Structure 1
Amino acid sequence: MSSERSGLDVDESIRTLLLLMPRLIGRAKRAKIPDELAGMSLAPRHLSLFAYLLFDGPLGVNDLAERLEVTPATVSLMVGELSRKGVLERREDPDDRRRAIITLADAHREAIDSWLARSARAWRQALEPLTADQRRLFVETLTIYEEAI
Structure 2
Amino acid sequence: MPRMVGRVKRIRIPDQLQSLSLAPRHLSLLSYLLFDGPMTVNELAARLEVAPATVSLMVGELSRKGILERQEDEADRRRRIVSISAEHRPAIDEWLARGAVAWGNALGPLTPEQRQMFVDTLRAYENGIIDEQDGPTA
Shorter-chain TM-score above 0.5:
yes
Distance in 2, matches of 1:90 and 1:124, equals 29
1:126 to partner: Cα distance? 3.6
Letter in 2 for 1:90: R
* Structure-2-length-normalised TM-score: 0.81
- Asked if 1:115 corresponds to 2:98, the answer is no
**C-alpha separation in 2, matches of 1:125 and 1:136:** 16
In the alignment, is residue 56 of structure 1 matched against residue 55 of structure 2? no
Bigger proportion of residues as helix: 1
2:70 pairs, out of 62, 84, 90, with 90
TM-score normalized by the length of structure 1: 0.76
Task: Look up the match of 2:117.
Answer: 137
Tell me the number of residue pairs that the alignment of Structure 1 and Structure 2 aligns: 128
Letter in 1 for 2:110: T
- Judged with a 3 Å threshold, the aligned counterparts in structure 2 of structure 1 residues 135 and 95 are, in CA distance, closer, same or farther, namely closer
Flag structure 2 segments of 5+ consecutive residues without an equivalent.
130-138
Give the Å deviation of 1:138: 2.0
Distance in structure 2 (CA, Å) of the matches to 1:108 and 1:67: 22
How do 1:44-83 and structure 2 match up within 5 A?
44-83=24-63
List 4+ stretches of structure 1 deviating above 3 A: 124-128, 133-136
Quote the offset at 1:122 in angstroms. Answer: 2.9
| Structure with more relative contact order (C-alpha pairs < 8 Å, separation 6 or more) | 2
Tell me how far 1:73 sits from its aligned partner: 1.1
- CA–CA distance in 2 between the matches of 1:121 and 1:63? 23
What amino acid maps onto 2:75 in structure 1?
D
CA deviation after TM superposition for structure 1 residue 127, in Å: 3.8
Distance 1:61 1:126 in 2: 29
Q: CA deviation at 1:125?
A: 4.4
Aligned-partner SS, 2:81: strand
Shift of 1:96: 2.2
RMSD: 1.8
